[in-house]
Structure 1
Amino acid sequence: MFDRPMEPTSTYAALQITPPLSTTHKWVDAQTLTLMPNIELGRNLTYQIEFDETAELATGQVAFAAPFQYELRTSNSSVTLSAAFGFGSGANMQVVQADGRRAVQFTRYAGEAASHDGLLATLHPLTPAQLIPRLEMVQNTNSEWDYYGSTVRRFRTSELEVAYSWPLTDIVRFNADSPAHEFTIPAEVPAGLYVLSLRQDGVLNDQLLLAITENTVVAKRARDSVLVWVTAIGGEAKANLPVQIFAADGSLLANGTTDDGGRAQLTLPPTAPPTAVLAQDGDDYTLVNIRSWFYWDNNSGGQRSEAFTANIYTDRPLYQPGHTVYYKAILRRDDDAILSNVGAGVTATVIIRDSRQNIIHTATVTSNEFGTFNGQFALTEGGMLGNYLVSLEVGVSNGRPTYTKSQTFKVEDYRKPDYTVSVTLDRPYYLPATP
């Protein structure tokens, strides 16, 4: 804040920050210049802000007879912020196809009043050595939904390079009733591992570990082992690739090499639970979060109500990005365990959430004469992988649904196995009625 109107170009050119700090600047008015750091500031650091004698007033006069200096010190304690936008809950890790849509989904927590103005995306490149110590910030917990829209998750970026930074002007909203949005990573960003930061007016809203790659890895955990399967996103199995499994503290739990089918069965030590699998294909890296199966995985749940009971299901349990999900729900009135058809005309809401609990689809449905609902939803090409949730909500009381029934389904970049069938006959031809 200056006490007189300033000439913007010369004033910003006269600015020096020591130690050097990458910022994005914005003039609020002729007397107010805001500087938005493009990286997370470290704790207990001192920055010297200086404007030299080349800064000019709006009148063209010299603003300072001598360099104007002041110090900015960061706090020694962490600050908990409530984010207006975020990448959702659960594992803050995503793979996007280098030659695909490069879409990243995020959600708006602050309601319709939240503006997209000032949203900035920043990419910090990571080497595998820089990635591993940051795995401690990957959400890998049974209470993953507790993080939904609550506090900002931070990866250390103060020592990382800022390779790309751009204002989000290509935001696409999934539909009018959904807080879910997406933006795309610019085509000029090369494949690699990154920390993706989402800021608004300089305030960090959320961060994500991002792999831009042509490969994908699927991991299935047993009690003391993990089955890893690496394929190209197009479906080709990737043989002879090194794979590693890490714990949250960065310790290496297991490693191996994929076979001709792209698979590797790795034994886990009893020291720490696994957090991530990393696979390398030359300069191409891909990764996946790994966690224990929860009791609600591939199961149904919901909010009980004495008035209703329901079942909701999808046409299959597993889909690929770009597939269409067909769902159906059966609703019955529940009178002390005596069930009856609700009939036609009952209105309900169907909500689909992705693997980080972003609402990606909302639809109002009405029951038919059999008391059933049905609909469909097309999954986004290049969308997030993992467990999705489809929910049926009926009635409203105090702003909340009086009855909810949910069912999970999975979205994975799987590849169907190839097989052949050969049929051999015992003679070249047969006559009618001949066995």
Structure 2
Amino acid sequence: MKTLHLVSLSLLFSTWFATAAAAPKAPKAPKVDPNLQAGQAALRAKDYPAAVAALEKAVAAKGKQADEALYLKALAQYHGKLYDDCIGTLGQLAEHHPKSVWLHKGRFLKANAFVQKRDYKSAEAIYETEAARLLSAARKQDVASVIIHFADALAKKPGKDDLKAPPPNYGKAYNLYNKALAMEIGRELRDAVMFKKARAIQQANNPAQAIKDFRAYLVEFDPDWMGPVGSAARASGLKKENPAAAGKHSLAARFHLAEAQLKANQLAAGRVNLEDLLKLITAQKADDAQAKLVADSRWSIINTYRLPNSAAHELELGIKAARDFLKQHTDDPRSVYAAWWIAQVYHRAGRSDDAIAAYNDFIAKKNHKLPAGDALTAIIPITGGTPAKLQDTWEKEALHQVAQIRFGQKKYTEASAAFQSYINKYPDGPQWANCQRGIINGQYQVAMDAVEAKEYAKARKLFEAFLTANPLDSRAARILFLFGQIAYQSAADLESKQDDPQVAAKAKPTDDAVKAAYRKAIAEWQRLVSKYPGTEESSVALYRIGLIYEEKLGDLAAALVAYRKLSWGSKAGNARARVALMTKPSLVLQTGRKFRTDEKPMVKLTTRNIKKVTVKQYFLDLEAYFRKTHAIGNIDHLDIALIEPDKSWEVEIADYADYRPSEQAIEVPFEKNKSGVCLINISDNDFEATTLVIRSDLDLILKSSRTEALVFVENRRTGKPAADVKVLFSDGKKVFATGTTEKDGVFRGKYKELKANGNLRVFAIADGHVAANVVGLTGLQFGTSLAAKGYLYTDRPAYQPGESIKLRGIIRDVKDGAYTAPEGKVFLVSVKDAAGRLIWETEQKLGKFGTFHSQLRLDDRAALGSYTLTAREKANPKQAYSSTFTVQKFQLEKIRLKLETDRTVYFRGETVELTIKAEYYWGQPVADKTISYYLPDGRHLIAKTDATGELKVKYDTTGSQAGTTLRFTVSIDGENVSSVHNAFLAREGFAATVAPSQPLMLAGEPFDVTVTTKAPDGKP
């Protein structure tokens, strides 16, 4: 067995030697010994004696490769089965070349020779020595160092000038670091490898795994690490007991953890870790030693707010973070970004004045400095750009933005000054042309504001100066249009004074003055049309010239000339329509309303280009018409051409003029104080129109359900109900019912036709007086009838056994569609327990209000549960009503808990002081009582109250997240008493809201705003 063991061990170490412990290559000699080459060739040819002879010569030469020659000589002797000679040769190798790279291979060969000689003890001694060497911690550390060396090479970024170097392979480096960590390596090396591993996977753009690896590092090498943000361990605030010394990379690991969290969009958690890192560096008094890490951390805090795209609720916090960075790291290359972002945040949030101040601060470099030396022109990592280039670019943009904001605020003087400053400072700036336009636009807007303020003289003066300075401006046509509009508005204002009762008669303008004012507007617009024909402005101007001629000056021929001349722009179609309207004859006839018998019926006739009309009157039997058509409208289909009119006459159009519309009223002849209905037809050679004229004193109101219709008819001349009026009902297809109103002017009828009718039509007639109406029934549902009701109740919802119960009942019956109090009816009132057993019953006679009341006493041993109170009519048992109440046993807790904190709102890092007070319900404190309480971080603690029944608890909020609720739960074991108290961990000190006095305002109208500030607890 021992022989087999030693042979196996020999094979094991031979394999290990060939793979993991291969000897490094011998250094290249400038010239190879020919005897060594001859020996190597003989070995390959398995001519071992020749090999030994040649190699002995090489050894005797004592060259640089003598140790290799000795080893190869021993190998030839071994294969030649000269084991003793082999052992002797290897002894010479160990004696004369103790540091040879062939020494360890020689020792394994020597052990193999002992095995062949069956000297296992000597072989075992060699194997044990080599095994101890190969399995030692130092050897493993060396092997791990080789792996780490390759991993470091894979993770190394090539220099910018090393163009042939391959890119880093962080994934392979990460795997090699994992293999190194799987070996038994020392704490110091493990510290470095775990950190490098996490950095490699972070640089491989795997933030989720990087977060895990950095946390694993911190758990092992950071004694101050208390767990992830939001975890119970971190919230507890408890540090490790007897921790090992901090690793070399604990602070950097915290920073890179936050970096990975930002990459994973875990902004709040990353911010908390960065804030805690800064506190830790300050606590360790390492601000100077870790100056770069401090700056990077403050910069990363800015990034947690996503500047310059901060959310509205984090805007101020983001700006504060940027200002903190600028205050502490004024000359940091990134400070140019921080200063610029502050202005950008304000600008995007619409806080114009703050944005202007921030832009001016950036231009003046008030809060930041450009770095000195090479850093001034060095590219800023990650964000890109050089400080010098960014400052130059953004200074120009800042000045341009200030000008734009001022322009938007209608502060055109300041805007123009800023535009001019840009033009003077940056003649090659990208916004130079825009600034030139900005100055011109400012001049234009000043004049436009004068127009809006109705300072027309000032506006005209400004516009004329603008046109003189900028004759080719694209808005020149618009300005000329405004000149005409100003003149038109002045004329309209002058015209309005003619009908203004507040203007004295002597001060009222004459018609000639008004017309002269309108002619000024025409003159201004004619200037526009002649100077800028074919433009949209001239299209509108020419159309308005035509309107003024037509409507204000009455010069219809001139209006037609203007309309016919207009052939371009958006108003060309309107002009053609006006030409068609003015030149085409038209006739419109209208009846405005129904007339009473003491009024003169009139119709309104509107004509154009018609000099004379013929009027025909046809009296109409409206009842017969209603029975046929089931309506009194739609008279157009009546064929009256073949009927001789009852009366006919001609009417001359008063004050006729070509193209001018004319309106006049035509009286319809009726006998004095007589009612009736007639058709009036008015026509000329080509046109005719017909209208219905009703002379009647009746009006009616129609109401309907799905079963009944109601009509009320009134004589509106006398104001009294109209009796004996004939009423006809139609469903649109037939007259299905008739009736006559009573003395009160009302008619009611129930009809089955109403069930499915969509529209109910009614017609009323009496002595020639008529009235009609229609009501839509679509969607109308059938009404539900009332049902008897009863309401039973007790004086309390719950009772204990042995207590008295007072009960009442209110009953209502239905009579003639209304509720009534059924006085005198007898009801059987009963109570059943939870098991349905009858425990009490009595007869109750209802009073005049339909009510009853009674009481009963529960047995001391009454069953617990829900009881049913029932009232059933004695004569009609089916009419019954019920309600329920509860019987339970109630017991007051003898102890109560009161939880109080010194305030309800805290900020992260503050200590919550909770006071737990236990007392009996009669007020005596519960002293020396065990209290069980849960803290917001999940810890469960136990303590006892003092002599006053109080227990003080302190809770550090450093490990908690802002914006969360801190919940404290307290109980007394064995007493079934518990209580909960909540406190809030706020983000901000207060919140402000701004609300306008009204949701909609006119441009330029002043309005009030209400600013409301509230603390995190909701209080003002």
Shorter chain as denominator, the TM-score bin is 0.3 to 0.5
After TM superposition, the score normalised by the length of structure 1 is 0.36
After TM superposition, the score normalised by the length of structure 2 is 0.17
Q: Which has the higher helix share?
A: 2
Q: Which has the higher strand share?
A: 1
Q: Which has the higher contact order (CA 8 A, sep 6+)?
A: 1
